[in-house]
Amino acid sequence: MEKLNELQKKILDLKSKKNAVILAHFYQTMDIQIIADYAGDSFELSKRAKNAEENLIVFCGVKFMAESAKLLSPHKKVLLPNPNAGCPMADMVNPEIIRNLRKEHPNAAVVCYVNSSAETKAECDICCTSSNAVNIVRKIGADEIIFVPDKNLGAYVAQFVPEKKFIYINGFCPIHRHITVDDTIAKKREFPNATFAVHPECEPDVVKLADFIGSTSQILNYCIESNDKEFIIGTEYGVVERLRFYHPEKKYYILTPTLVCPNMKKTTLNDIYNCLSNEADENVIELSDDIINKANIPLEKMLLLG
Q: Which does 271 bind (CB under 5 to 8 A by kind): ligand 13P, ligand SF4, none?
A: none
CA 12 to mean position of chain CA atoms? 24
Draw the binding track, 243-272, toward ligand SF4 (x: CB under 6 A; -: no contact): ------------------x-xx--------
Q: 102 to 121, contacts with ligand 13P by CB under 6 A?
A: 115
Name the minimum Å distance from CB 193 to ligand SF4.
28
**Beta-carbon contacts of residue 88 (< 8 Å; ≥ 6 apart):** 173, 174, 263
From candidates 18, 88, 91, 165, binder to ligand SF4 by CB under 6 A: 88
Phi/psi of residue 79, each to 5°?
-110, 135
* Residues recorded for the chain: 306
DSSP conformational letter for 16: H
CB nearer to ligand 13P: pick between 92 and 108: 92
Tell me the number of residues near ligand SF4 by CB under 6 A. 12
Q: How far is the CB of 216 from ligand 13P (least distance, A)?
A: 4
Q: Which of 22, 57, 62, 285 lies at the binding interface for ligand SF4 (CB under 6 A)?
A: 62
Q: CA–CA separation, 217 vs 184, rounded Å?
A: 21
263 binds, among ligand 13P, ligand SF4, none (CB under 5 to 8 A by kind): ligand SF4
Bridge partner residues of 58 (DSSP): 22, 79
Buried b (16+ CB within 10 A) or exposed e, 32-53: bbbbbbebbbbbbbbebbbebe
Is 89 among the residues that bind ligand SF4 (CB under 6 A)?
yes
Assess contact for 233 and 221: CB atoms under 8 A.
no
Q: Is 130 in the site for ligand 13P (CB under 6 A)?
A: yes
User: Is 283 within 8 Å of 275 (Cβ atoms)?
Assistant: yes
Partner whose footprint covers residue 220, from ligand SF4, ligand 13P, none (CB < 5 to 8 Å by kind): none
- Residues found near ligand SF4 in the complex (CB under 6 A): 62, 87-89, 115, 173-175, 236, 261, 263-264
